[in-house]
Amino acid sequence: MSERRALEFYSGLVDASVDTTDFTTAELVKTVENAYRDVNIAFANTVALLCEEYGSDVWAVRELVNKCEARAMHRPGPGVGGHCIPKDPWLLIAQSKEMAATALIRTARETNVKMPHIVISRIETWANAHKLPNPSVLVLGLAYKEDTDDTRDSPSLVVIEAALARGWGVSAHDPHVEPSFPLGGAQRIGALEGTYDVVLLLVAHQEYLDGGISALTSKFFLDTRGVFESSNPPLKTDAAGTLGVSR
C-alpha cells in the first residue's frame, strides 16, 4: 500500500520513470552513484598529475581517450564539493569490514580532498620562483559548481583558508553567492577589475567564460578547470597555466 502511494505521489512530480525497490537497494543506488563519480573524478585528477610529471597535457590526453568507444574520462579540477559526493562514498563503505575491497573508494576520496592543496602548491611554487612570499591572489568562484550559489564543501573555501594561513592577500569573487557569505580574512570584491599577482579560476561560471574577467591583470593566471587555452588567456597576464599541463 505505502509503495503504491509513494509511486503515485512521485509519478505526479517528475516527468520520468519512477522505480521501486527495497530500502537497502535504494540506499546503495544513491551512494554508489556518487561514489562512482568520485572515483572517476579522482582518476582524472590522478591522470592530470601524471601528465604534469610526464610532460604532457591532460586535456589533450582526455580528448583522445574519450574518442575510444565506451570511454568517458571525467574532467580533472581543484577538488570535489557539494552535499553528496564528499559524504556518500563514506556512507557506502562505513559498515563494511572488507578493507581491501573498499580501498579504491577510500583512495579516491583522499585524492579529491588533496586537490585544493595541490592548487595551493602550484601557486606557491610560482610565487617562490618569482620571489613573492606573500602574493596577492584573486579567487574566481566560491560555489562548488558552476552557475549555482551552493558553497557546501566547496574546494574554493579550502583554497582560501590555506592561502590565508600562508599570509597571502586573498580576494574573492562570485556572481552567484551572496555578498554576505563569510570568507574569514579574504576580501570580497564586486567589480572584476584590478591587478593581482595571481588570478585563480576555480569555478567555470558562465560570466567568466563570456569575457567577464577581461578587465583583470595578473602576473600569473591559473585555470584549474581547463576552460581556456593557456596560449590565449582571457585577461592580461604575464603567464598562464592549468592543472594537468607540464610547465
Active-site positions read 30, 84
What is the Cα–Cα distance from 109 to 157, expressed in whole angstroms?
A: 17
Beta bridge partners of 221: 199, 240
Closest to 122 in 3D by CA, of 239, 6, 207, 2 = 239
What is the Cα–Cα distance from 150 to 82, expressed in whole angstroms?
A: 7
What is the Cα–Cα distance from 219 to 40, expressed in whole angstroms?
A: 33
> Residue 196 phi/psi, 5° resolution?
-135, 155
What is the Cα–Cα distance from 169 to 57, expressed in whole angstroms?
A: 30
What is the Cα–Cα distance from 103 to 8, expressed in whole angstroms?
A: 40
| Residues 116-152 as b or e (16 or more Cβ within 10 Å = b) | bbbbbebbbebbeeeebeebbbbbbbbbbbbeeeebe
What is the Cα–Cα distance from 235 to 246, expressed in whole angstroms?
A: 21
Say which residues have a Cβ less than 8 Å from residue 219's Cβ, sequence separation at least 6. 130, 132, 196, 197, 198, 237, 238, 239
Beta bridge partners of 124: none
